Amino acid sequence: MISPANTYPGLTKNIPHNAPNEPDVYYPDCKRNYVRLAATDDLQGANAAAFAKQIGAASTFVLHDSDQYGQILADAFAAEATHVGLQVEVELEATDAVDGDYGALVEKIHQSGANVVYWGGFMNDQGGGLWQALRSMLGQDVALMGGDGIDTPIFLNAAGWAAEGTYATFPGVPASTLSGKGADWYQRYKQQYHGEPDPYAAYAYEAMNVALSAIERAGNKDRAAIRDAVFATRNYDGILGNWSFTPTGDTTLTMMAVSRVLNGRWDDRSVQVVQALP
């Protein structure tokens, strides 16, 4: 199986917050049969921390919603922030607020002196109240950021005016930022379909080409041979650049897009590409 878009780490990696026995439970014969082209959620947190360093942060305050996805992002952000020399003030659940009153939490963040607040999690109507409380006390001098769980219209509606200036990572890069073969594909796509490709369209195109290449290299209709050929993909020169599959089935492509809310919407023109340090 090859996926262009699945980002849940537990399918391939043994990391904290996995469900019991992941990922081994998916491979009872101890033979991997799943690969993906999208970077995993833990790398979203790491890339966000690298970006925080890039924009001049010195101290961060990390929050999460206690959901598995949120904790994975928050832990990865905190670890990478420490790795790149940022001070991590605290990591805790923002769900401790009583009846949507975030006053005590926001005051704690304010007193910490953090100049970046990172949110690991999704965003609902109640979460919009958190953003408004943060902006009301911290203003625009403190950067607010999260993962693709907030890169949604739901977040914009919930946070309202407080969404302005927020950063969010996306586990991939926009087709408009691709170079070489990727830039050529992007232009051909727009000419053919008269619009921008879906965020994962380039990854789906690459996935199909990888599958076809593996079938051709296997030379017969043997499933095991085709699977092994897929896993043997190394230094693949495709539209996403030059990359390989790791033994776990993950991609070596770890660059991600960081977008920002400008004038009340996620602004594609402000997208930056970032990569966490090894």
Question: What are the pLDDT digits (tens) for 188-217?
Answer: 999 999 999 999 999 999 999 999 999 999
Query: Which domains are delineated in the chain?
Result: 2-38+177-243 (3.40.50.2300), 42-171+255-274 (3.40.50.2300)
pLDDT tens, residue by residue, 84-101: 999 998 777 766 555 568
d(CA 179, CA 177): 7
Q: Which of 233, 274, 255 is nearest to 39 (CA)?
A: 255
**Which among 205, 214, 212 has a CA at the least distance from the CA of 233?**
214
Q: What does the DSSP assignment read for 213-238? A: HHHHHH-SS-HHHHHHHHHT--SEEE
What was the pLDDT predicted at 120?
Answer: 93
Q: In the predicted model, what is the mean pLDDT of residues 156-175?
A: 96
What are 105-162's pLDDT values in tens digits? 899 999 999 999 999 999 876 678 899 999 999 999 999 999 999 999 999 999 999 9
CB 91 within 8 A of CB 122: no
Q: What is the pLDDT of residue 96?
A: 55
Residue 18 φ/ψ, nearest 5 degrees: -65, 155
**195 secondary structure, DSSP code:** S
Omega cis (within 30) before 197: no
Q: What is the pLDDT of residue 278?
A: 58
Tell me the two tokens of residue 22.
Answer: 């992941």
Residue 26 has pLDDT above 90, yes or no: yes
- Residue 165 neighbours by CB under 8 Å, 6+ apart: 140, 143, 144, 260, 261, 262
